[in-house]
Chains A and B, each alone.
Chain A
Amino acid sequence: MTLILKQLFSLLRLLNSDTGTNQIAAGVACGLILGFAPMLSLQALLVFVCMFLFRIQIGAALTSAFFFALVAWLFDPVSHVVGSAILETPSLQSLFTALYNMPLVPLTRFYNSVVMGAGVASILLAPLVFFGSKRLIEAYRVKVVERFKSSPFWKLWSSTSFFKWYATYDKFHG
C-alpha cells in the first residue's frame, strides 16, 4: 500500500514537473493492457514484471488500469463478438492450434472470445494511448500547470512562509 501511495504521489509530482513524460505515458499504455487483460493471466503477470523492472510510472499504470478495466467491462459484448470472429477465422486455425498446444501460451487465455477481443484491442490501442497521453500530459503542463502557477492565488500561496518552509523540507527530505 505504501508503495502504491508513494507511486501515486510521484505521479502527481511528475505530472506537474517538466520531466518523466515517457514514464507516465508508458504507465498509461501498460494500464490499458492490464485493464483489458484478465487479472490472472500470463500477459498481466508480464506487464507487472515490466512495470517493476523498467522505469514505468506504476501509479499511472494502476490508475489507468482501473479506469480501462471499467471501459473493458462495458465493451465485453463487443470484445466477445470481435474475439469470436478472430478465433473462428479459418486461415488462423492452424496458428491457434499450435499456440493452444504450446507450453505457457494457453496461460494467456487467448482462446477465450472476450480475452482475445479485448487483447487485440489493447495491443492496437497501446501505441495510440502512449503517444496520445504524451500529448495530453504536455498540453496539461502548458495549459493547466503554467496557468495555475501564474495565477494570483499561487503567487500568494508560494510567498507564504509555510510554503517556503515546505519547499526547503521537500528539497532535503522529499
Chain B
Amino acid sequence: MDKPVKKQGAIRFEAVIPMAIVVGLVVLYFSLFFDSHLRRGLEYAATQGNGAEVDIGRVKTSVFGASVLIADVQMTDPEQPQQNRVQIGELRFRMLWDALLRGKIMIDEAVIEDVQIATARQRAGYVLPPEPEQADDGPSATDKMLAQMKQEFSGNVVGDLAAIAAGADPAAQLKETGDLKSSAYLAGLKQSQDETEQQWRARIDALPKGDDFKALRTRLGKVQLKDFKDVAQVQASVKELQSIRDEFDAMSKPVGEAGSKLTGDMGALRTSFADLEKVAREDVRGLQSRMHLPSLDTATLSRALFGMDVLGKLQQARGYMNQAREYIPAKGAPKAKPKKIHKGHDYAFGRPKAYPAFWLRRAAITSTLPGGKGLSGEILDVATDQSLVGRPLVATLKGDFPQQGVSGVKAELVIDHRNAEPLERVNLQVGNYAVAGRSLVNSESVTLAFAKAQAATGFVAELRGDKVDMRLSNRFGATAFETGAKSAVVREMMAASVAGLNAVTMDARVSGAWSDLDLSLSTNLADALAKGMGRYLQAKMDEARKRIESIVNDRIGEQKQRLLARQGELEARYQSQLAERKAQVDKMRAELDGARNELDKRKNAAVDSQKQNLKQEAGKLLDSWRR
C-alpha cells in the first residue's frame, strides 16, 4: 500500500486525450441532442407562461450562426383546451455573437410567420392548475376587490327572477330570519339610553340646589348697602359683593352648561333613531338577498349579463401587466426581493448604447393566405431595460383571420417603462366575428344565449402606475336568441323580452386605482329584459318586498316604540329638573343684581355729595384769596 508515488511535473500532459474526448462529446451532444432538449425546455417554460400546454414541432439551432428556428408552435387556450390560443408556423431569428459574449441576447430581426388564432387541436392540451395564493402576504386589496366583483357577477340574478316568474314565492322560503342587524342596533340604542340616563341622574344631583345658595344669601344680607360714612365703607361693600358674585358664578356655571349638553345628548339619541331606518333597510336588503329576490333595475341586470366578460378582460389585463412589470422593470423601480433566496438578485450596470440582458429590435409578423388576406404587423424593441434602450415596446397587428371568420383586426400595444411610472396601453379593434351559442344566462330555471350574431369589439385599456382606465364596447348585430325554460310562463316572458331585439350593445368602463375600481356597465339587453320581465314580475316582487319589510318591522317595531317612548320621557324629565335648578339660579342672580344696583346708587350718591363738598370748600378758599 505504501508504494512511493512517481515524481511528476506540474502539467498533466496525459490529460490531453481525455480532454479531447470531452470536447468531442460536447460537440456530439450539441449536434445530436441539444435541439431536442432545447425544444423540451422551451415547451416547459412556455407552458408555465401560458398556463396551458404549449407544443413546439421543431427547433433547429446553429451555434456558429447563433441562429434559432422554432417551427409549428401551438399554444393551448386555457379556457378552451380543445383549441389553440395562438398557432405560429415558424419563428426564426439570429443573435449577435458580440452580445452573446457579453452574456446578453440581442436580436436584430426576427420573423414570425403564419400566425393563426383559435385553431383546433388534435387533442386537448392540458391546463396547469391555478397557482396557490401566497400564504405569507395574504390576498392584496386588488385581489379582494376582484374576488368581490366575481362573487357579485357570478350570482344568478336572471335565474332568480325567472324562478319568481315560474311561481316561486321567495318570502315563503324565509322560515327563520335569524339575527337582524336592527335588533342588535336597538339593543345598542337601549344601552346608550341607560348610560345617558345614569349620567344625567348623577349630573342633575351634582347641580346646585336652593339650599346651596343659603350661605351666599346670609353673606349678602350682611353686606352694607346704605348709610355709608365714607368712601372706604363703599369700597368694602363693593369688594364683598363681587366676591359673592364670583362664588355664585362658579356655582351656577354647570347649570348653564348642562342645558346645552342635555340638548346635545338627546339630539344624539334622536339621530341614532334616525339611523335605525338605514339599518332596517340593510336588513331588508339582506333578507332579499337570502330569498334570492333580485332587483329588476337595468344596472343589476347589465352586471349579471356581461359583468363576468368585463371582469375576465380586467383580470387578463392585470396578469399581462404584472408579467410586463416583472420582466421589464420600470426605471427606478424598487428591487424586487428574490423569489428564491438561492437565486439572488441580478444587478444591471448598463451604460448608454450598451446591450440590455435581452433586446429584440424588430420582429416582423406575416401571415399570407390565399386570396391576399392575411396578417401583418411588427413588434419593436422588446428589451429588459427600456431606459437603456431609450424606446418603448410597440407592437402593431393588422389583418384578418378568415379561417376563423374574424376580420378587421387592428391592435396596438405600447409598454413604456422608461419612467418611474410604468405605462401599458392597448387598443384592440375587431371589425367582425361570428358568435354562435354564446351563453348569457345559464341557470336551472332559465337559459339565454345568442344562437348567432355578428359581433364587433373595441377594447382600450391604459394602465398607468396603480391606475386603470379600461373601456370595452361590444356590438352584436343580426342577433338570434335561444331561450329555454321549464316553465311556459318563463319561456313566454323571456321570448317576449328579447323579441325584436336585433342588435345588442354593451359598453363598459372600469376606472380608478386597482384597489378601488369603479365599474359602469350598460347594455340594451338589460333594458329589454327589465322592461319585459317587469311586466310579469313587478307586482310579485313588490308584494314580496312588502312582506320582507313587514317581517323586519314586526321584529323591531315594539322595541322601537318602547325606546322612543322612553326617549321622550327622559327628555321631559331632565328638561324639567334642569328648568327647576335654572329658576333657583335665576332667583339668586336677581337678588345679587338688585344688591349691586342698590350699592351702585349709594356709591354714586356718596361720590356726588363728596364732589359737592369739595366744590364748596374750593369756592371758599378762592374767595378768601381774592380778598
Give the secondary structure class of A's interface: helix
Q: Which of B1-51 contact A (CB under 8 A)?
A: 1-5, 8-12, 15, 18-19
User: Do B10 and A17 have beta carbons less than 8 Å apart?
Assistant: no
Q: Any chain A CB within 8 A of the CB of B64?
A: no
Q: A19-B4, A54-B11, A109-B103 are in contact. Are A100 and B345 (CB under 8 A)?
A: no
Q: How far is the CB of A121 from chain B (nearest CB, A)?
A: 13
User: Do B18 and A167 have beta carbons less than 8 Å apart?
Assistant: no
- The CA-CA distance from A65 to B382 in the complex, in Å, is 39
Give which listed residue, A20, A79, A111, contacts B5 with CB less than 8 A: A20
Q: Which residues of B contact A106 (CB under 8 A)?
A: 102-104
Q: Any chain A CB within 8 A of the CB of B175?
A: no
Q: Any chain B CB within 8 A of the CB of A37?
A: no
Give which listed residue, A20, A101, A113, contacts B102 with CB less than 8 A: A101
Of the listed stretches A28-36, A80-88, A123-131, A132-140, name the one at the interface; the rest are far from the partner chain.
A80-88
* Nearest chain B residue, comparing its CB with the CB of A170: B3
Q: A52-B18, A106-B104 are in contact. Are A97 and B347 (CB under 8 A)?
A: no
Q: How far is the CB of B285 from chain A (nearest CB, A)?
A: 52
Q: Which residues of A contact B103 (CB under 8 A)?
A: 106-107, 109
Of the listed stretches B184-192, B335-343, B557-565, name the one at the interface; the rest are far from the partner chain.
B335-343
Q: Which residues of A contact B18 (CB under 8 A)?
A: 3, 52
Instruction: Please give the number of chain A residues whose Cβ is less than 8 angstroms from any Cβ of chain B in the complex.
Output: 45
Q: Which residues of B contact A13 (CB under 8 A)?
A: 1, 3, 5
- The CA-CA distance from A145 to B399 in the complex, in Å, is 81
* Nearest chain A residue, comparing its CB with the CB of B345: A113
User: Do B2 and A114 have beta carbons less than 8 Å apart?
Assistant: no
Q: How far is the CB of A97 from chain B (nearest CB, A)?
A: 4
User: Do A80 and B344 have beta carbons less than 8 Å apart?
Assistant: yes
Q: What is the size category of the interface that chain B forms with chain A? A: 20 to 34
User: Do B3 and A174 have beta carbons less than 8 Å apart?
Assistant: yes
Q: Which residues of A contact B342 (CB under 8 A)?
A: 73, 76, 114
User: Do B10 and A80 have beta carbons less than 8 Å apart?
Assistant: no
Q: A52-B19, A101-B354, A171-B3 are in contact. Are A113 and B101 (CB under 8 A)?
A: no
Q: Which of A75-104 contact B (CB under 8 A)?
A: 76-77, 79-80, 83-84, 87-88, 93, 96-97, 99-104
> How many A-B contacts are there with CB distance less than 8 Å?
101
Q: Any chain B CB within 8 A of the CB of A47?
A: no
- The CA-CA distance from A109 to B2 in the complex, in Å, is 44
Give which listed residue, B9, B10, B15, B344, contacts A83 with CB less than 8 A: B344
User: Do B344 and A55 have beta carbons less than 8 Å apart?
Assistant: no
Q: Any chain B CB within 8 A of the CB of A16?
A: yes
Q: Any chain A CB within 8 A of the CB of B351?
A: yes
Q: Which residues of B contact A87 (CB under 8 A)?
A: 347
Q: Which residues of B contact A101 (CB under 8 A)?
A: 102, 349-351, 354-355
- The CA-CA distance from A111 to B341 in the complex, in Å, is 15
- The CA-CA distance from A171 to B18 in the complex, in Å, is 25
- The CA-CA distance from A17 to B6 in the complex, in Å, is 11
- The CA-CA distance from A76 to B102 in the complex, in Å, is 25
Give which listed residue, B4, B346, B355, contacts A111 with CB less than 8 A: B346
Per-position contact with B for A54-76: 1 when CB-CB < 8 Å, else 0? Answer: 11000000000000000001001
User: Do B5 and A17 have beta carbons less than 8 Å apart?
Assistant: yes
User: Do A115 and B2 have beta carbons less than 8 Å apart?
Assistant: no
Q: How far is the CB of A47 from chain B (nearest CB, A)?
A: 14
Q: Any chain A CB within 8 A of the CB of B348?
A: yes
- The CA-CA distance from A129 to B355 in the complex, in Å, is 38
* Nearest chain B residue, comparing its CB with the CB of A107: B103
- The CA-CA distance from A105 to B345 in the complex, in Å, is 18
The residue in B9, B18, B349 that gathers the most chain A C-beta atoms within 10 A of its C-beta is B349
- The CA-CA distance from A55 to B9 in the complex, in Å, is 8
Q: Which residues of B contact A8 (CB under 8 A)?
A: none
Q: Which residues of A contact B3 (CB under 8 A)?
A: 13, 17, 170-171, 174
* Nearest chain B residue, comparing its CB with the CB of A104: B101
Per-position contact with A for B406-440: 1 when CB-CB < 8 Å, else 0? Answer: 00000000000000000000000000000000000
* Nearest chain A residue, comparing its CB with the CB of B103: A106
Q: Any chain B CB within 8 A of the CB of A156?
A: no
Give which listed residue, A55, A97, A107, contacts B351 with CB less than 8 A: A97
* Nearest chain A residue, comparing its CB with the CB of B351: A97
User: Do A112 and B346 have beta carbons less than 8 Å apart?
Assistant: yes
22 contacts between A and B (CB under 8 A): A3-B18, A16-B2, A17-B4, A19-B4, A19-B5, A53-B11, A54-B11, A55-B12, A76-B342, A77-B341, A80-B344, A87-B347, A88-B347, A97-B349, A100-B348, A103-B101, A111-B347, A112-B345, A112-B347, A113-B347, A115-B344, A117-B344
Task: Across the A-B interface, give the 9 residue pairs with the lowest CB-CB distance, nearest first.
Answer: A114-B344, A106-B103, A100-B349, A113-B344, A103-B101, A97-B349, A19-B5, A76-B342, A52-B15
Given A52-B19, A79-B344, A100-B350, 20 more pairs with CB closer than 8 A: A3-B18, A16-B2, A17-B4, A18-B4, A52-B18, A55-B10, A77-B341, A83-B344, A87-B347, A97-B349, A100-B348, A102-B102, A103-B101, A103-B102, A109-B103, A111-B346, A112-B344, A112-B345, A114-B343, A114-B344
B interface residues with partner A (beta carbon < 8 Å): 1-5, 8-12, 15, 18-19, 98, 101-104, 338, 341-351, 354-355
